[in-house]
Amino acid sequence: MTTSEKAKILIVDDLADNRLALKMVLKREGYRILEAENGEDCLKIVEKAVPDLILLDAMMPGISGYQVAKVIKEDLKHIYLPIIMITALNQIDDKVKALDTGIDDFISKPFDRVELRARIKSLLRLKKYNEQLIHINKVVVALANAIEARDPYTFGHTERVAQYALLLAEKINMTPEEKEQVHLGAIIHDIGKISVSESILNKPGPLTCEEWEVMRKHPEIGYNILKPMGISEGVLRVVLEHQEKLDGSGYPLKLVKEQISLASQVVMIADIFDALTSDRPYKKAYSFDKATKILVEEAIAGKLDIKLVNIFIEAIKQEGERDLA
């Protein structure tokens, strides 16, 4: 079967005649059709039926198409769900507003049938490619978990780092795409440790200079392992940069300040906090107060962003208060 025969397309428009016109075009292409006459119904169908693409009217009673798109795209599991907005509005401001909410394409009414078919096929191809990347990501995550399991002291470390990093990402209003980079980057940031022997990973005392040289190579090794797999550049940068410091004292590239991506800085803070508050072969877990004091000291010394550190500490405190409530 072709991609078009398999694809489910959700048409969202409050006018039945508009939905019928779109259905007539799409059925000739073999698409399966779902319909919604308002934004509320659209959101329900997205959760239950999971369409492959949405054709969305901008102006509807109740929830507008812009609001619907924003809700859908803010949910990480729907981030790659293509949405085409079809509307009579044709001002630049309307198009910018649509794109800002996560709309993937924009077609003005009355629509051209050939153009509509072409854009749908293009976005469905892109969706298929993204799904292949998601599959690759799952394989990579499984590999990262297997590597982490070699060290009983760091088991669960990447999941905790991902949770801490996403908490900070939320507080600084990162986009859904940036949050995805932070999450996956945090999960696989230590994948390069596949090259590090267990005798070094589990050593109870300080590492020798030679052992540190081996350890310092793991970000670059991880980057080189992942680069041919089609992992996004934003995630690759987290893997490569998570041990950098803003003052250039980190490794492996000794980057400074803006040379380090925001996603990398977010994961960097989360990674340090979890290392400080976890048992390791060479130390016991530090208290929250001691760990956050060290984070602040690192920021004052120019190694971390003081604003991000303060936001992170406040966010962790709030989470702790919620857990105790």
Alpha helix stretches (DSSP H) within 193-302: 198-201, 209-215, 218-226, 233-241, 262-276, 288-300
CA distance 62 to 234: 37
DSSP string, 239-269: HHHTT--TBS-SSSS--BGGGS-HHHHHHHH
8 A C-beta contact, residue 78 and residue 25: no
Residues whose CB is less than 8 angstroms from the CB of residue 100 and which lie 6 or more positions away in sequence, other chains included: none
CA distance 179 to 168: 10
The closest of 211, 189, 190 to 199, measured between CA atoms, is 211
193 counts as catalytic: yes
Catalytic residue, from 73, 97, 193, 245: name it. 193
Question: Catalytic residues, which ones?
Answer: 193
